[in-house]
Chains A and B, each alone.
Chain A
Amino acid sequence: MKALVTRIIRHEGRDYRLIAGQEAPPMPPTLGRLCQKNGYIEAPPGPAPEPRPARVPRKPEGEEEEG
């Protein structure tokens, strides 16, 4: 994920350096969520959506089946 700002974030005794436009360093999930919330890093792309099941058209009431 790319960093959107240039910052040094200190978290649990470690410094994480964000440089705008460059790939953000690996960071703990809690810090990653906080940085995304603050707009410091891009949000990760979400998982691919599940394929939707095909729709079966409903038969209108009273219609007799052919055959």
Chain B
Amino acid sequence: MAQLPQNKKGYIRGVKGAVVTRINSDGTADGTAVPYGIKTTQKIAVEAELQAGEATPLRGGDKLLAYVKDPDTVVGVNLTLNDARFDAQAIQTLAGGTLVEAVEGTDTRIIGWEAPAIEAQQAPPHFKLEVYATSYDARGGVEGYIKYTFYFCRATFGNENLEDRQWLVPELKITCLENPSTSAGLYKKEFVTALPAVLN
């Protein structure tokens, strides 16, 4: 049985959005969780957190005799998510806090968000994060999408910049670690043919 090359060219451009699904703090799936789609992501920066391996030089006779360096290890991934709009539900799902709702007839409507208290931040919500971007072929045609799956994440609300004649782009800081309930790596990237319903 031969291994065929990957099915898509993989020229990735832009960001289509992110899907957030709450999980339990031990990394197991939460059966009651409902995925939430963030369709207005402007940027998601993915930065590897590196634990540098120890370097040990051996010197003698005024010269370097030997040099050994342990491997560097990527122990986590830090993401910065910039959303083009203030999405209270998204922020609450990612970073906790309290939704503010106003009564409308027999329903309630979300009108705001309150940051979590310091005590509540000691037990932040955990979630799985899926990020989608478009994959193009060599002729610039859409051949599908690439899907990142970050298995075990928690977030803090980040900085905001209010400036004359500038758009406000809220920021969230996300830390992704290995899921303690599985043996999987930090995250996965794979080609998919369609976006999930929550991003359409």
Contact = CB atoms under 8 A, between A and B. Distances in A.
Contacts of A38: 107-108
B22 to A, nearest CB: 13
A34 interface: yes
Contact of B99 (A7, A11, A15, A31): A7
B112 to A, nearest CB: 8
Contacts of A22: none
B103 interface: yes
Contacts of B106: 34, 37
B120 to A, nearest CB: 9
A31 B103 contact: yes
Given A34-B108, A38-B108, A8 B103 contact: no
Contacts of A6: 98
Nearest to B99: A7
Interface residues of B, number: 12
B30 interface: no
A8 B114 contact: yes
Interface residues of A, number: 13
Interface in A13-33: 15, 17, 31
B108 A9 contact: yes
A41 B82 CA distance: 34
A58 interface: no
B45 interface: no
Interface in B125-152: none
B93 to A, nearest CB: 13
Given A34-B108, A38-B108, A7 B98 contact: yes
7 contacts: A7-B98, A7-B100, A8-B112, A9-B101, A11-B103, A17-B98, A38-B108
Given A10-B102, A11-B102, A31-B103, 16 more contacts: A7-B99, A7-B101, A8-B98, A8-B99, A8-B100, A8-B101, A8-B112, A8-B114, A9-B103, A10-B100, A10-B101, A10-B103, A10-B111, A34-B108, A37-B106, A38-B107
